Amino acid sequence: MRLDPGAADLDFRQKARTWLAGNVPHAPAPPDGQASRAYALDWLAKLHAGGWSGLAWPEAYGGKGLTPGRLLTWYEEYVRARAPSTLDCTFVALNHAGPTLIACGTEDQKAFHLPRILEGRSIWCQGFSEPGAGSDLASLKTTGRVDGCDLVINGQKIWSSFADIADYQELLIRTEPGSKRHKGLSWVICDMSLPGITVRPIRNMAGVSHFAEVFYDDVRIPLTQVVGGLHDGWTTAMTTLGFERRTAAMALQLELSVRIEDLIARAAPAPGSAMADRLADLRAEAAAIRAMSYRTALREPATPFDGSVVRLAFAELAQRIHRAAMDVLGPDALTDGQWVHEYLESYSETIAGGTAEIQRNIIAERMLGLPREPRA
Ligand SMILES: Cc1cc2nc3c(=O)[nH]c(=O)nc-3n(C[C@H](O)[C@H](O)[C@H](O)COP(=O)(O)OP(=O)(O)OC[C@H]3O[C@@H](n4cnc5c(N)ncnc54)[C@H](O)[C@@H]3O)c2cc1C
């Protein structure tokens, strides 16, 4: 693994820094709803016009084909410039729907959707989880019955982030009647404006509606919208989750270093105090996550489970940093909307994208080769 940058790397970093300095929006992102959609799409269109969208996508599909090392440099500059969070409503499309289409979609699907995603013209959401199928995704029950050239969808999804403002959904359903577990599923592109779809936003404890329940009542989706083969949706879904758990969260991991520096500046702890020790530990942990992000991105060949290690470490550290922030701010936290908002949101870090317990299971069983937990 080589970390010393050459002249071309330094030039790339300077170009990124200069562009970001002149283009990062000054107004904060609206928390949710149509205003957040307009803000995110405007920002993505600006990135695209500047030549900075789809950096990880292959050039053949309109991307820039950057190496993981260059991508890290971009995200370092991105968080340094305090650009809008990458975990906005464009996240699904750019980081896993688009890459899944590139890996498993038909040429028609790619030609229609990929330019719309890159240019900031469409929002995607993910419809995998159901009330009885979260960690155990293979127990999902929403059905898609083949009827002529269509699938007829019935059932319910939950926790679908940005479903209320999305144009399309990565929808995972059971299409083979009587099939069990991961067999007989299909991954389909669901147009969120189709008749029979009802979206009910859920407000979280931070007071924002980032996710929603989605109900499907005889929703007809053409079979041409299946991605990766009818009844073979598990393979496609694993491709999606692979993208979601690997480099997609790079910016968020790097952002922790910025947040801890903000907190240290705000706390100005007396040298040698207990708070100084605590913040120093958190700073060291953020540096370790950053090192892990580098290792995950640059290691050749990549191992499929590195993403789980970084994801777990990141999620738990994010919670510790925000708990420390509440202790630093004390009663002032009540008037500091941003830190309180992030503190409340940080509770979801060990649930979203696979819970901390599930990441530990993956690490234990698949990386360390420990005995598998009993399966029902
Ligand atoms: C902010 C946020 C955004 C989300 N966005 C989306 C989205 O866009 N699309 C989508 O489809 N889903 C989304 N989700 C849902 C997320 O994927 C699920 O919440 C997650 O997979 C856990 O599933 P569950 O909530 O059903 O909990 P459960 O699976 O019911 O788990 C409940 C508890 O049991 C534990 N547990 C379960 N199984 C095991 C096991 N085998 N070993 C040890 N412990 C276990 C879990 O760790 C957890 O603590 C989102 C969730 C959050 C918080």
Domain holding 133: CATH number?
2.40.110.10
Do the domain assignments include residue 2? no
Q: Which of 77, 130, 244, 345 is catalytic?
A: 244
Of 199, 231, 263, the domain-final residue: 231
Looking at the domain assignment, is residue 223 inside a domain?
yes
Predicted confidence at residue 311, as pLDDT, reads 87
pLDDT at site 243 = 82
Residue 51: per-residue pLDDT: 97
For ligand 1, atom 38: residue with the closest CA = 135
Tokens of 129: 């989880």
**Among protein residues, the one whose CA lies closest to atom 52 of ligand 1:** 352
Q: Are residues 227 and 252 in the same domain?
A: no
Contacts of residue 217, defined as CB under 8 A and 6 or more positions apart, other chains included, come to 154, 196, 197, 198
Q: What is the CATH number of the domain that holds 73?
A: 1.10.540.10
In a domain, 373, yes or no: no
Q: Which helix (DSSP H) or strand (DSSP E) does residue 218 occupy? A: strand 211-222
Indicate which residue's Cα is closest to atom 45 of ligand 1.
357
For ligand 1, mutation pick of 355, 360, 366 (most atoms within 8 Å of CB): 355
Per-residue confidence (pLDDT) for residue 300, from 0 to 100: 67
**Has residue 312 been placed in a domain?**
yes
Integer Cα distance of 309 and 230 in angstroms: 32
34 Cα to the center of ligand 1, angstroms: 26
Number of domains in the chain: 3
The tokens of 39 are what? 């803000």
Residue 285 falls in the annotated catalytic set: no
Other C-beta atoms closer than 10 Å to the C-beta of 277 total 12
Determine the distance from the C-alpha atom of residue 7 to the mean position of all C-alpha atoms in its chain, rounded to a whole number.
32
Give, in order, the Cα–Cα distances in Å from 115 to each of 52, 60, 63, 142, 262.
Answer: 14, 12, 10, 30, 37
Q: What is the pLDDT of residue 3?
A: 67
Domain containing 197: what range? 124-231
Residues 285 and 178 in one domain: no
Ligand 1 centre to CA of 55 (Å) is 29
Pocket of ligand 1 (CB under 6 A): 125-129, 134-135, 159-161, 211, 348, 351-352, 354-355, 357-358, 361, 373
Encode the chain (376 residues) as per-residue pLDDT tens digits. 556 778 888 999 999 999 999 999 999 999 999 999 999 999 999 999 999 999 999 999 999 999 888 998 999 999 999 999 998 999 999 999 999 999 999 999 999 999 999 999 999 999 999 999 999 999 999 999 999 999 999 999 999 999 999 999 999 999 999 999 999 999 999 999 999 999 999 999 999 999 999 999 999 999 999 999 999 999 999 999 888 766 667 788 888 889 999 999 999 999 999 999 999 999 999 999 888 888 877 776 667 777 888 889 999 999 999 999 999 999 888 887 888 999 999 999 999 989 999 999 999 999 999 999 877 6
Q: What is the pLDDT of residue 374?
A: 77
Cα–Cα separations (whole angstroms), residue 315 to 147, 253, 350: 43, 9, 5
pLDDT value at residue 50: 97
Residue 354 Cα to ligand 1 midpoint, Å, equals 6
> Strands 211-222 and 197-202, how do they pair?
antiparallel
